[in-house]
Amino acid sequence: MKFWIGAAATVALAAGLALSGANEYFFYAGYVVLQFVVLATAWNILGGYAGYVNFGTAAFFGIGAYTAVLLFKAAGAPLGVQILAAACASGLLGFGTGLLTLRLRGIFFSIATVAVIFIMQTAIVNWRYVGGATGVQLLRPPAMPPFDSYTRMLFVVMAIMAVVGVCIARYIEVSRIGRGLRAIRDSEEAAECSGVPTLKLKLFACTVSGALMGAAGAPLPMYMSFLEPASSFDLNYSVSALAMPMIGGTSHWLGPVIGAILLGSVQQIVTVTISNEINVLVVGVLLVVFVVAAPDGVLGLLRKLKWFHRSFR
Amino acid sequence: MLFGILVGCFYAAVSIGLSVAFGLLDVPHVAHPALMVLGSYCTYLLGLYGWDPIVAGIALTPLFFLLGVAIYRFYYETFEKRGSDAGVRGLAFFFGLAFIIEVGLILVFGVDQRMVEADYIGKSLSLGGYRIPWRLLVAFGVALLLTAALTLYLSRTFTGRAIKAVAQDEPALRLMGANPVRIKQWAFGIATAVTALAGAMLIVVGPVEPSLDRVYIGRTFCVVVLAGLGSMTGTLLAGLILGVSESIVLTQFGASWAPAVAFGLLLVVLGIRPQGLFGR
């Protein structure tokens, strides 16, 4: 119950902010942070619960973005349709990737997901209709009535997606599926032997995770009003989506959210105040530091405090 | 075709360090290509003082050996020793390391392409109507020597055999009274030292930029997996296969499709025959 009130409050807060007179830049940066909440949560479904490290976030994200471009160019589809279609396309890609690679373990799976990024990127580079290597310029439609600007509207859309994503992740975590995935993480052989349908569960997790990543990518072309393959399939998305749950804590749905908000905000501040390169460096360094010094992330550190333990478990 | 063979040998040489680190030691060494690019930039720096790239690469090997020992020591203390969940965290660790190296290089050198000067760069050898650039021939020669040396080292010397023994059965080695950690440390050091030389060749073959490691993740892992983990002769053959198929795609479909070849081949191998051509 507490959770649902929190979820509703988050959406209401985002909508309230967007209708208020806050500075436009706030929404511009907030959008990116929320986008990373979705990506990190999606990554955690497969990476955190099942222990399969996915380096391919950028592939799903990019395919989501390009599905939106394709629909917008071909049919002028509205944003909602773009997001749904992007989720379907990336979910399909996730299913395909899973079918091909989920029989592999550990690093083999991870490297295969890197391969998916580069193959998708090459395919898009060679596809003229969606802009090829040079990218595609898009004209934003006018903003919907209650919002004064398109960025504000996208901010609210992304907030809704973040909440929906977290709800899905939480549902998976507390249901049978989550228990099965955790069993896979601890010992795949043991899980298989005790009757857990491992391949089915992994495929499901991979599909849902991919679909969420694609949905997160769908509003990107409208947000930037420009899209090109090199930046939308950037490996930086993969490392961020992996670093955020690792920093926040992978075992609880709150972990990726904390990690994404923390790291995403730091990234935004660093990008504005110092430079874009330092921002990737921050991600890398924090990832290594947390993985080495605090394997359970911020949540693991907090859990040592008693009040937290009582109120969340 | 000839071009493909030369490049293929070069691919084998850049992958051979990974073949030891990942194939024999089971370390998820995603940072290998990043270390290689680091080697290229060190070669570039020495080249500014008039060093020949190959000499510079050889001079760098002791330094990279120590670096490799340090990385493995750190990896062992923090992940392998703790045991639990080492896979996920180890992968994340090396992925993070690769990004730190890449961004570090961007911060120091900028995103521009860098290259080195040497007598054999820019000239080519005419042979029966074909023109073969000398830089490829040099890289080809060094690659062949390197592969041969490492193969002999692993099969003929005592430490080399010990490294193979660690790969086969670690508990057995422990029972024999040997220390597997020290042997692995030594092996990882060698793997990284070889990477320095590979980096030197990388900058001989063509200009280098900090983000080059991303494409080479595909190429090196493709070669190692295709070869079958830890097989040295397999590495050479797999490198050739990749080099030739890349040059075929390059001439048939154009340069924009080339980056996908290594990754596509990798996916196919992983899907059909994960143990590779010469799997153990």
pLDDT, tens digit, 9 for 90 and up, residues B120-129: 666 666 766 6
* Chain A, nearest residue to B218 by Cα: A115
**Domain span including residue B72:** 2-212
Say if B94 falls within a structural domain: yes
CB of A299 within 8 A of CB of A248? Answer: yes
CB of A240 within 8 A of CB of A281? Answer: no
Give bridge partners of residue B124 from the DSSP assignment: B133
Contact A110 B91 (CB under 8 A): yes
Q: Does the pLDDT of residue B85 top 70, yes or no?
A: no
Burial class (CB in 10 A: 0-12, 13-18, 19+), A194: exposed
Helices A24-47 and A198-217, interaxial angle, to 10°? 170
CATH architecture under which domain A2-312 falls: Orthogonal Bundle (1.10)
B140-195 per-position pLDDT tens digit: 888 888 888 888 888 888 888 888 888 877 778 777 777 888 888 888 999 899 89
Following DSSP, what letter does each residue of A143-191 receive, concatenated?
PPTT-SSHHHHHHHHHHHHHHHHHHHHHHHHHSHHHHHHHHHHH-HHHH
Contact B96 A125 (CB under 8 A): no
Nearest to B91 among A107, A125, A284 (CB): A107
Contact A284 B97 (CB under 8 A): yes
Nearest to B34, CA basis, from B74, B93, B112: B93
Say if B187 falls within a structural domain: yes
Say if B132 falls within a structural domain: yes
Burial class (CB in 10 A: 0-12, 13-18, 19+), B144: middle
Q: Where are the domains of chain A?
A: 2-312
Average of per-residue pLDDT values in chain B: 83
**Looking at beta carbons, which residues of chain B come within 8 Å of A116?**
263, 267
What integer pLDDT is reported at residue A93 of this predicted model? 92
C-alpha–C-alpha distance, residues B232 and B18, integer Å: 11
Say if B253 falls within a structural domain: no
Chain B residues with at least one Cβ partner in A under 8 Å: 22, 28, 30, 78, 82, 85, 87-89, 91-93, 95-100, 102-104, 106-107, 214-215, 217-218, 221, 225, 256-257, 259-260, 263-264, 266-267, 270-271, 274
How many other C-beta atoms lie within 10 A of the C-beta of residue B226? 25
Tell me the C-alpha to C-alpha distance, in Å, between residue B187 and each of B26, B66, B223. Answer: 12, 11, 19
Encoded amino acid at B165, one letter: A
Q: Does the pLDDT of residue A240 top 60, yes or no?
A: yes
Encoded amino acid at A264, one letter: G
Say if B130 falls within a structural domain: yes
The ipTM estimated for the assembled molecules is 0.83
Q: Does the pLDDT of residue B2 top 80, yes or no?
A: no
What integer pLDDT is reported at residue B63 of this predicted model? 92
**Confidence label for A311 from pLDDT (cuts 50, 70 and 90):** low
C-alpha–C-alpha distance, residues B251 and B232, integer Å: 29
* Average pLDDT over every residue of B4-12: 86
Helices B258-272 and A106-125, interaxial angle, to 10°? 140
Encoded amino acid at A283, one letter: V
Choose the mutation target among B82, B101, B216, B270 for the interface with A, i.e. most A CBs under 10 Å: B270
What integer pLDDT is reported at residue A90 of this predicted model? 93
C-alpha–C-alpha distance, residues B60 and B39, integer Å: 8
Q: Does the pLDDT of residue B79 top 90, yes or no?
A: no
Alpha carbon of residue A46 to chain centroid:
11
Nearest to A93, CA basis, from A117, A70, A124: A117
Report the number of distinct structural domains present in chain B.
1
Helical residues (DSSP H) of A175-275, grouped into ranges: 176-186, 188-193, 198-217, 220-224, 229-232, 235-248, 254-273
